[in-house]
Homo-oligomer: A and B are copies of this chain.
Amino acid sequence: MADIARMSGVSISTVSRALAGSPLIPDATREMIAEIARDNGYVVNPFARGLRLKRTQNIGVVIPLGHEKRQLISDPFFLEMLGHLADEITVRGYEILLSKIAAPKPGWLENLIQSQRTDGLVIIGQSDQHSALNAAGSHYENMVVWGAHLPDQTYCAVGVNNELGGYLATKHLISLGRRRIAFLGDADLPEIGQRRQGYQRACREAGIAYDPRLDAPSEFTEETAAQAAERLMASGAEMDAIFAASDVIALASINALKRHGKRVPEDVAVVGFDDSTIAAHTNPPLTTIRQDLNKAARLLIDLLFQRIEGDEPKGALMEPELIVRKSSGA
């Protein structure tokens, strides 16, 4: 910047003001300085600027993977969400600092906040870190979380109505005459737990007795989900439908069913969750619960920037939508 000042024949302060678009500088001067900067490939150093201003112009996007043994970003859900978030953040002139938290250690979130690397944080999924998020939420405002709404939640959460999603999926299966419906997913995760509650409510309303053998824990990767589906079938429990907590799990289940000579949907109907891009292209195409990630990302970033500006908006609950395709046999 000193160089640019010298070349422009003005002081450093003037260059700083000009490049920052201060109204104190006449347009002509500003133009002149901007051009010299451009010609010399000069760009304001964001570290010096950040140090001085205590603003980084970065938004942190965080993917906590406490619940995944494989610790790899594999579910297309994350990636679709990330794409939409990237659009929203870029549009506002901020950069994206992407953090994958593979094995969350105590204090990981506080560290991230204290490091002041970002002006705000978007957490994609609560994973098993609700208490860490809650602790942070009580003193750090600039954070929004994609996930379930929970009682006594101190942080701003945006998510689909998971209970209703689970209910819609299961009711759809019941309306098609299915009675022995299995649930496949990790109910320890808040969002999945709520989807399971919806599943159970639909069963209860239809007078279907709870069968613990049909309640099968499963992680999110294709391999682990396939194993879970195999275990479910090995258990010998009769079933005529599966409600899977994600599309990837649904897909893995369909493949496992086929390996065992079951037809989908004739023998076993399957419903997934997410409506990720693959859902329309599987064989058979997947009936699923849609979460509008485009809208979700817009909501998350809108709320985050409101918070950065000092407001404290509450979270938002989005409506899930049943998308009927072939896998449920409708």
Residues on A lying within 8 angstroms of B by beta carbon are 38, 41-48, 50-51, 56, 58, 61, 72-74, 76, 79-80, 82-83, 86-87, 90, 95-100, 102, 107, 110-111, 114-117, 222, 251, 255, 277-278, 281-285
Give the distance in Å from the alpha carbon of A46 to the alpha carbon of B45 in the complex: 14
A96–B95 touching, CB < 8 Å = no
Give the distance in Å from the alpha carbon of A83 to the alpha carbon of B281 in the complex: 22
- Residues of B close to A100: CB separation below 8 A: 86-87, 90
Identical copies in the complex: 2
Give the distance in Å from the alpha carbon of A64 to the alpha carbon of B102 in the complex: 27
B76–A83 touching, CB < 8 Å = no
Which B-chain residue is minimally distant from A44 (CB atoms)?
A: B115
Q: Which residue from B48, B72, B117, B284 sits with its C-beta under 8 Å from A46? A: B117
B90–A47 touching, CB < 8 Å = no
Q: Which residue from B44, B51, B278 sits with its C-beta under 8 Å from A278? A: B278
Chain B CB count within 10 A is highest, among A51, A111, A284, for A51
A45–B79 touching, CB < 8 Å = no
B56–A47 touching, CB < 8 Å = yes
Which B-chain residue is minimally distant from A285 (CB atoms)?
A: B283
Smallest distance from the beta carbon of A308 to chain B beta carbons, Å? 17
Q: List 30 A-B contacts (CB under 8 A).
A: A41-B107, A42-B114, A43-B111, A45-B51, A46-B115, A47-B50, A47-B117, A61-B98, A73-B82, A73-B86, A76-B79, A79-B79, A79-B80, A79-B83, A82-B82, A86-B98, A87-B100, A90-B99, A90-B102, A95-B97, A95-B99, A97-B97, A97-B98, A98-B98, A278-B278, A281-B282, A281-B283, A283-B283, A283-B284, A283-B285
